[in-house]
Structure 1
């Protein structure tokens, strides 16, 4: 058979397939998603393809958590963004600039240890800080009022004061870590809800939660803490954080007022009697730049970041604060170390520490040189306590410490991170895009959206916010170096109300109050990070488990919504999951 005959046969076959596709034979043609992108499809608007708005959404699905937003490129900030990216992606050391920090104690040696591929932390079976993807922070708090061995008092519910708020489990030799990881014990326990972890159609689901204990002997502090418990909080994805920062706090107030009509809100955030923000909802930044009048003055901003809503802007929030206290990198607005006096006292009285400083510290080239003092046991003891407990140093202490310990050239400001580098880091952080939505043309995804709204899930997972004017707050460092990415006139779809709610889960988050986590982009977690666990401590390994934890207790703010999901058919449950993974 010659080539001409073959070509004729292929043409006839192709024509038959084309005809069959339009006939009753129902040969399915798979839709090309690109034919639908940025167009209204089913119950989705055209805008919903871009959860971060046109200025905040990346269309590159691979490596999408780390992509710059279109605003970065349009506003001429791409090169600065890439420079800032370096400070997230590098591992820090004790001695090499510009990625120097860590000593004398630290939480992690790099940002991606907590945020693997820029995403959510991964579930762990043991606590080891140097495991890539372990985004867990140890939340250690008192269970009752009491008095320490040194006579100081503590209150139930407060963080223990003996270690830092983000407890450190790594230290520079010969110092011992504030918490010895060998004394941290983690196990996963099973929980059973009122339905016996089984849907009416017989499909089962699993509910597990972490239980963590820390031996008192594991604390290298004087005194050692008493009457404490431990909870885990895992990091969330960093992408789109700048867009959340851009949401106007007046809009947040309207949302809180709306939620307060139906639910009791955290009194630390909302004054129910006055129907407005509580005084503790504000964070005051001294000498910042007020967008209202363009002057340097004290600026009040409403807290919106972290599960506990403890941070108000990115410059004091998930990135700027963490680059200091996680890796212990000092800079011009963070001269001092992230340590505690209880740890400083323990190290100053540890004979093995004193002996090693006497052995190594005489040399000006040694990292232990700042602690050597006059070389006597007493001199070393006093110097160790003075430098390790340097939480509120005098200017003289700062000068001595920066000259001897940091050992950074004067032209770099004697800081481990220069102001220019910190500015680049903030351009990067505020410039991270949100991945484009996927499969919105899929009928199952459209059905899932319909059910998500009908069940009332949007009461907490508010779909969209409109940013009219991005009132970005400028710290003095950023203001001196340039502009930050802004997102004016954008509608974004994060699926969060930025309100704290209570779910009453067993071994719940410390205070019981947890900010609604944005859902955008989470369906790509397995692709980007290799894991897809959800909720504040990674207790849910699937979307279904996360939903059913919302209704574990009848007191939960989301109990009724969860019961509606429980009664759905298998097909409809799958549709809800498909929708959540698509947005």
Structure 2
């Protein structure tokens, strides 16, 4: 069931106007016996200890984030996309695994402990290693690191001997109506987990249990003619949930492929003021530029209110902590304070899975990873450093930057922000950052559509992916697969898959002189 809302708020010039307008546009409804709708507090960012900005700071921020007019030389601070968290770019697979440069000694200790838990291989219960048991019974990977290898991007399986350990299928079905959603947010597409397979398909299981499926991918090649006589070949995927272990999928099942995203800079993205993101939104394209990004709004379990979604391919989670907790439960089958079921993502229809032993520890609230452990993994995820830019003064890179801006790529891949000023020695505090994303949802056209809505994102919409570090993908991950499902084998292929709101920019890339196209890719490789 599609439930829509078309707010009439315009793209404002400051975040306060945006937040107030969004507050007026959003309403909440609960089940029968509805809960009182909590207010939308767009600028509060309740997950952060925020120090309000002064007028002088706002002026400084406006000046430092204004697009420069001179493209002939590197710009101030451009070399450090993560601000003071930036580290030297390494030419090894560890380039994404470094702690932020501005961590205190105590924070770096927490980073190291969190890293150990991120890499931990979980085992089946019961086990003598009490701190590490609780895997499954159904799962996609045995550790966070198995999906986010070296904290980089996942990839689709390449060949019959390559497993899909860093890729899986999300699944949902149409909900009968909004009342089926516990805390429905207006504008949300009413969906529910599959009654048998839940919210994602797991392709591994413990002994005695049957995996839910095997991911099968078939590619058809599509040629794209480019200016100058060049030709690019795209691969169009078809996904099948094969060898289903628990009977057929629901007749209305909607599947969406996802590869694990890179991990760098997440704490900085979390620290961007909500108002600054909302100020960029223009859902009705009131300025006529063809770009109509809108915010994802999701329910925060931790803060018991609707919040801006930031993380995941469709921005389905509001905070790093909630993204971490969901991944533990869904990907590894590890219970935690936010997802306390010992059987992980198993459904009531999977009776053997529900009845299986779990690794819940009574001394830690009966869950398999407690809040302390969850916080340490979340801290690690927040403080993975962004590597420095490379080759800033290379003439081709400089030309590529000019092409990137001139083609309109920055309408969605917003270059700069200044994060909140935060209390408590938070390393993300008041940093000028260059993530190249607006963190909004955009229609990317039929070619990239998964036809599976999620929250306020329809089946053609995706969150703008950050571009920082994208040029180090081959170095870190050993491959150059991009987009939400890894179909693109190069940055050029990724650009050519853009449609919908990005169609005009994509067509400009197709038609531009080959040397400009090469410069554009060279610039992306420098990020």
* TM-score clears 0.5: yes
SS in 2 for 1:207: strand
Are the aligned partners of 1:456 and 1:561 in contact in 2 as well (CA < 8 Å)? yes
Partner of 1:45: 75
Tell me, yes or no, if structure 1 residue 406 matches structure 2 residue 350: no
Superposition map of 1:237-248 within 5 A: 237-248=262-273
Partner of 1:283: 299
Distance 2:141 2:439 in 1: 28
Are the aligned partners of 1:52 and 1:492 in contact in 2 as well (CA < 8 Å)? yes
Partner of 1:253: 278
1:453 is displaced (CA, Å) by 0.6
Tell me, yes or no, if structure 1 residue 168 matches structure 2 residue 190: no
Are the aligned partners of 2:133 and 2:368 in contact in 1 as well (CA < 8 Å)? yes
Tell me, yes or no, if structure 1 residue 425 matches structure 2 residue 377: yes
* Match for residue 331 of structure 1 among 336, 340, 344: 336
* Match for residue 86 of structure 2 among 44, 57, 72: 57
* Match for residue 397 of structure 2 among 433, 441, 445: 445
SS in 2 for 1:139: strand
Partner of 2:497: 549
Partner of 1:88: 118
* Match for residue 506 of structure 1 among 433, 447, 452: 447
* Match for residue 230 of structure 2 among 189, 196, 203: 203
Are the aligned partners of 2:473 and 2:479 in contact in 1 as well (CA < 8 Å)? yes
1:342 is displaced (CA, Å) by 4.7
Partner of 1:576: 520
Partner of 1:220: 246
Partner of 1:149: none
Partner of 1:529: 477
Name the Cα RMSD after superposition.
Answer: 3.0
SS in 2 for 1:187: strand
Distance 1:60 1:243 in 2: 18
Tell me, yes or no, if structure 1 residue 516 matches structure 2 residue 476: no
1:570 is displaced (CA, Å) by 1.8
Partner of 2:319: 313
Are the aligned partners of 1:209 and 1:507 in contact in 2 as well (CA < 8 Å)? no
1:305 is displaced (CA, Å) by 1.2
User: Could you report, residue by residue, the CA deviation over 1:326-379 in whole angstroms, capped at 9, with x for unpaired residues?
Assistant: 11122344321323435424x4xxxxxxxxxxxxxxxxxxxxxxxxxxxxxxxx
1:281 is displaced (CA, Å) by 1.3
SS in 1 for 2:235: strand
Partner of 1:366: none
Partner of 1:66: 97
Are the aligned partners of 1:77 and 1:485 in contact in 2 as well (CA < 8 Å)? no
User: Could you report, residue by residue, the CA deviation over 1:129-152 in whole angstroms, capped at 9, with x for unpaired residues?
Assistant: x84x74212133458989xxxxxx
Tell me, yes or no, if structure 1 residue 538 matches structure 2 residue 486: yes
SS in 2 for 1:236: coil
Distance 2:372 2:347 in 1: 31
Are the aligned partners of 2:448 and 2:460 in contact in 1 as well (CA < 8 Å)? no
Are the aligned partners of 1:121 and 1:235 in contact in 2 as well (CA < 8 Å)? yes
Superposition map of 1:158-197 within 5 A: 159-177=193-211, 179-181=212-214, 184-192=215-223, 197=224
Are the aligned partners of 2:210 and 2:245 in contact in 1 as well (CA < 8 Å)? no
Distance 2:79 2:448 in 1: 37
Partner of 2:66: none
Distance 2:360 2:297 in 1: 39
CA gap 1:522/1:507 in 2 versus in 1, 3 angstroms: closer
Partner of 1:230: 255
CA gap 1:211/1:446 in 2 versus in 1, 3 angstroms: same
Structure with greater Cα Rg: 1
Superposition map of 1:58-137 within 5 A: 58-61=87-90, 62=92, 63-73=94-104, 76-94=106-124, 95=127, 96-125=129-158, 131=163, 134-137=165-168
Are the aligned partners of 2:82 and 2:385 in contact in 1 as well (CA < 8 Å)? yes
SS in 2 for 1:326: helix
Are the aligned partners of 1:533 and 1:542 in contact in 2 as well (CA < 8 Å)? yes
User: Could you report, residue by residue, the CA deviation over 1:420-452 in whole angstroms, capped at 9, with x for unpaired residues?
Assistant: 322221221111111110000101000000111
SS in 2 for 1:189: strand
Give ranges in structure 1 of 5+ residues lacking alignment.
1-39, 147-154, 271-279, 289-297, 348-383, 389-403, 472-482
Distance 2:438 2:495 in 1: 17
* Match for residue 510 of structure 2 among 561, 566, 576: 566
Are the aligned partners of 2:333 and 2:344 in contact in 1 as well (CA < 8 Å)? yes
Distance 1:157 1:219 in 2: 23
CA gap 1:323/1:450 in 2 versus in 1, 3 angstroms: same
Distance 1:453 1:60 in 2: 24
SS in 1 for 2:237: strand
Are the aligned partners of 2:419 and 2:432 in contact in 1 as well (CA < 8 Å)? yes
Are the aligned partners of 1:71 and 1:485 in contact in 2 as well (CA < 8 Å)? no
- Between Structure 1 and Structure 2, the one with more helix by share is 1
Count how many residue pairs are aligned between Structure 1 and Structure 2. Answer: 432
Distance 1:224 1:201 in 2: 47
